[in-house]
A = this chain, B = another copy of it.
Amino acid sequence: MSNKKVTFEDIARYTNFSKTTISRYFNNPDSLTLKNQEIIAQALIDLNYKENKVAKILANGKSEFVGVIVPNLYLHYYSEMLNQILSSYEKFGYKFLVFAGNANEAIERRYIQELLAYNIEGMIMLSHTIPSQELSSYHIPIVTIEREDQYTCSVNTDNYMGGMQAAGLLYKNNCDILIHINVRVSENVPAYGRIKGFVDACTEHDLPYELLLEDLGNTYEANKKVIQQLAENLDKKYKGKRKGLFLANDTYANMMLNCLVRMYGSLPDDYRIIGFDNSPISSEAVIPTSTIGQQIDKIADAAMEILVDQMNERKKRRPLLLNEPIHKVITPVLISRETTKRTP
């Protein structure tokens, strides 16, 4: 096998087409007949042609690259979202340049500048650090997921409905008091809807409720300590009452469950627990835990659909750019496991 590089000239000579025709095959194949496309495709195999994608980017500006920035890969929500985004390769062919920001804003900005220098065609943004107004100034298609999104297209879970679903399930479990445990969430991020949905559902059904919006700390051990203290307080304060606990995510729900199981050897009947996310810990818990499932596959699909539409539009001679950003919400799914029961 020869190592000599096969050029457009070699392909032209082999097929008796002009070099212009060969170039058109690579940059605008549909301008050739199907038959001629096949002849050239066969020649590439016969000649053992190695495609140079880099030259192609320079020729037509289409890198087929999409940048993806996640805050971290520690949380299952982000690693699963990334998994679903990457798997769109089979459908769309885009290759993903991936970065985990880990809250280092300066390096994230530098990384984005590099991506732009590589002619990426679009970007999916899960990291929270850079405001959507700044993102929109890059003038490439961008879709954000579950973060502030005033100036960018976005796909988010319907957090409000999730909060309503959680309160509704606890209501059907005949709880005497409903308690939502969360951190203070800013009103302009989608997750704020969980709190609002919970409160509105309680108000609607005229249910007694309590909001515990606490600083839960920044490490796993700190979270655990605060939640242990909350568990002991609630156990005393609402003795004899059936307590319906809605925790902001499955990690917190698992901490609460573990406290109670360690106190009582099992989950007492006067407790009901529901988390949020349907992350693995909810089914791996000592008692499989009810949760509001985010449809991560659907969110990733919707984000790629919006992005691909925008990227395709820019390949047209006269692209029609969006007048205002598209915002899509995906319905969450109530998953009832052993920590809640259907009413008899």
Using a CB–CB cutoff of 8 Å, the interface residues on chain A facing chain B are 50-55, 57-58, 63, 72-74, 79-80, 82-83, 86-87, 89-90, 95-100, 102, 104, 107, 111, 114-119, 220, 251, 254-255, 257-258, 261-262, 265-266, 280-281, 283-287
CB<8 Å pairs between A and B, sample of 28? A51-B117, A52-B119, A53-B117, A53-B118, A53-B119, A54-B58, A54-B63, A54-B118, A54-B119, A58-B58, A72-B83, A73-B73, A83-B100, A87-B102, A89-B99, A95-B97, A95-B111, A95-B118, A96-B97, A96-B99, A97-B98, A220-B280, A251-B284, A255-B284, A257-B286, A258-B285, A261-B261, A281-B281
How many identical subunits does the complex contain? 2
Determine whether the beta carbon of A95 is less than 8 Å from that of B114. yes
Q: Which residues does chain B contribute within 8 Å of A99, judged by CB atoms? A: 86, 89, 95-96
Q: Which residues does chain B contribute within 8 Å of A119, judged by CB atoms? A: 52-54
Q: Which residues does chain B contribute within 8 Å of A283, judged by CB atoms? A: 220
Question: How far apart are A310's CB and chain B's nearest CB, in angstroms?
Answer: 20
Question: How far apart are A322's CB and chain B's nearest CB, in angstroms?
Answer: 20
Q: Which residues does chain B contribute within 8 Å of A51, judged by CB atoms? A: 117
Q: Give 11 A-B pairs besides A95-B97, A98-B98 with Cβ atoms closer than 8 angstroms.
A: A52-B119, A53-B119, A73-B82, A73-B86, A74-B80, A79-B82, A82-B100, A87-B102, A89-B107, A255-B284, A261-B261
Determine whether the beta carbon of B58 is less than 8 Å from that of A87. no
In the complex, A257 Cα to B285 Cα: how many Å? 10
Q: Which residues does chain B contribute within 8 Å of A286, judged by CB atoms? A: 257-258, 261-262, 285-286
- Most central of A54, A72, A99, A266 by chain B CB within 10 Å: A54
Query: A281: nearest residue on chain B (CB-CB)?
Result: B284
Question: How far apart are A73's CB and chain B's nearest CB, in angstroms?
Answer: 4
In the complex, A261 Cα to B263 Cα: how many Å? 13
Query: A52: nearest residue on chain B (CB-CB)?
Result: B117
Question: How far apart are A300's CB and chain B's nearest CB, in angstroms?
Answer: 12
Q: Which residues does chain B contribute within 8 Å of A74, judged by CB atoms? A: 79-80, 83, 280
Q: Which residues does chain B contribute within 8 Å of A281, judged by CB atoms? A: 280-281, 284
Q: Which residues does chain B contribute within 8 Å of A100, judged by CB atoms? A: 82-83, 86-87
In the complex, A95 Cα to B262 Cα: how many Å? 46
Question: How far apart are A188's CB and chain B's nearest CB, in angstroms?
Answer: 28
Determine whether the beta carbon of A96 is less than 8 Å from that of B98. yes
- Most central of A118, A255, A261 by chain B CB within 10 Å: A118
Residue from B52, B90, B102, B114 within 8 A of A53 (CB atoms): B114
Question: How far apart are A28's CB and chain B's nearest CB, in angstroms?
Answer: 18
In the complex, A97 Cα to B67 Cα: how many Å? 9
In the complex, A82 Cα to B206 Cα: how many Å? 48
Q: Which residues does chain B contribute within 8 Å of A96, judged by CB atoms? A: 97-99
